[in-house]
Amino acid sequence: MTPQRVLHLVAQMGVGGAEAVVAELAQGGSRLGWQTAVASAGGIRATRLESAGLAVNFPVSLMQRRRPSSILRAGRDLRRVLASYEPDVVVAHNVGVTALAALVGITTRGLPLVSVFHGVAERDYPFAAQVLDRGPHALVTVSSALNRQLHEAGMRRTDVRVIPNAVSVPDLPDRGRARSELGLNGDIPVALCLGRMVAQKRHDVLLRAWAQVPGDAILLLAGDGNLRDAHERLAVELGVDDRVQFLGERDDVPRLLSAADVVTLASDWEGQPIALLEAMAAGRPVVATSVGGLSEIVRSGEGTLVPPSDPWALADCLSSYLYDATQRQTRGNAARLGVLERHSPARMLDAYAEALSHATNRASEDKYLQVLRRK
């Protein structure tokens, strides 16, 4: 059975990876005849989807840990969405909203539920394994590494689908104009980090690495979060505040990629970050930590992966790329070709279409078995 009315349930629709996947599926789903709705706490991507006529948006309160009242409000909101939209299938992005779906009884209502696991901190894997083992009719992880970590944490189910994230090739503006708009000298080497300023992303490691990068290269930090003030103070302490630009949250990623020579990420854990896929699709080589699903994104010759929490290794690789234009071009071209081959939106959409159909069929079978038991 092919679903027609698809409801994506996601915490919020800002600039993160899960939100990018929702946006890509909403855009591609219209070609498959899907009617898409998004239930979330809102954000820039939700506004864009609605303005483009690609999805209807329903507000659901943002859940907060250690605040049961916020979970109850979110559950109440989701029940209203289900009654109003009457979806054929619900796609829950990540563990928290999957647990919320269970709370409101989506599967007991007979609704097919697909859960997409984008990754969590290491300490949260046992809870994630427990939630994802039981409830969803279909489970998707965005990398094989995440699937393996869930099983190591105790998950028993074997019907997991690994569907890598995908990106469209960004339309980059003129490099000279992009740099001018950012106040950058035309020839200066530039590294870019796209990511929220939270503990996971380890901007502190990146800043310590940057203190060891020679010359006048500039580091652009695009993102905001609760650690921004601490990172700004660290940049001053390290004496690199004149070579680091804190840009805050941005919605002009193509401009930033056009201005950059290399893209970097120093995270402690990742699923399959959209930011790196976008960078590679734009022909930018990547220097990142070897964690989670990153080894499935960055193949040999497309960039370099270094151990986490190692600013010295990170600094060495960044310096090598920033001051070697030939290496940047060679690796950047390979990165673009690799993303086009392995992370195309069409391939991702086909895989999700199969997952949604599988969940719909399984939910129908469950309904039939329930009728038989009652007899």
Class of domain 5-166+344-374: alpha beta
Give the confidence band of 68 by pLDDT, cuts at 50, 70, 90: confident
Decide: pTM greater than 0.85.
Answer: yes
pLDDT single digits (tens) 201-212: 999 999 999 999
pLDDT single digits (tens) 268-316: 999 899 999 999 999 999 999 999 899 999 988 999 999 999 999 999 9
Where are the chain's structural domains?
5-166+344-374, 175-342
The CATH architecture assigned to 175-342 reads 3-Layer(aba) Sandwich (3.40)
Cα dihedral 40, 46, 50, 52 sign: negative
What single-letter DSSP state applies at residue 241? Answer: G
Query: Are 46 and 26 contacting, i.e. CB atoms less than 8 angstroms apart?
Result: no
pLDDT in the model for residue 175: 96
Q: How far apart are CA 76 and CA 37, in angstroms?
A: 17
pLDDT in the model for residue 368: 45
Q: List, in order, residues 6 or more apart from 299 with CB less than 8 Å away.
A: 338
pLDDT single digits (tens) 309-348: 999 999 999 999 999 999 999 999 999 999 999 999 999 9
Q: List, in order, residues 6 or more apart from 75 with CB less than 8 Å away.
A: 100, 103, 104
Q: How far apart are CA 277 and CA 346, in angstroms?
A: 15
Mean pLDDT of the chain: 92
pLDDT single digits (tens) 13-41: 988 889 999 999 999 998 888 999 999 99
pLDDT in the model for residue 367: 59
Structure tokens, 324? 């070697």
pLDDT in the model for residue 251: 84
Q: How far apart are CA 359 and CA 112, in angstroms?
A: 5
pLDDT in the model for residue 370: 55
Give the confidence band of 371 by pLDDT, cuts at 50, 70, 90: very low
CA-based radius of gyration for the chain: 21
With CA atoms as reference, report the closest residue to 215 among 318, 295, 129.
318
Q: How far apart are CA 241 and CA 228, in angstroms?
A: 13
pLDDT in the model for residue 375: 55
Whether 5-166+344-374 and 175-342 share one fold: the answer is yes
pLDDT single digits (tens) 167-198: 988 899 999 999 999 999 889 999 999 999 99
Cβ density class 162-201: b for 16+ within 10 Å, e for less: bbbbbbeebebeeeeebbeebebeeeebbbbbbbbbeebb
Q: How far apart are CA 105 and CA 281, in angstroms?
A: 40
Terminal C-alpha separation, the chain: 25
Would you tell me how many other CB atoms lie within 10 Å of the CB of residue 300?
Answer: 9
Residue 8's H or E segment, with its range, is strand 5-9
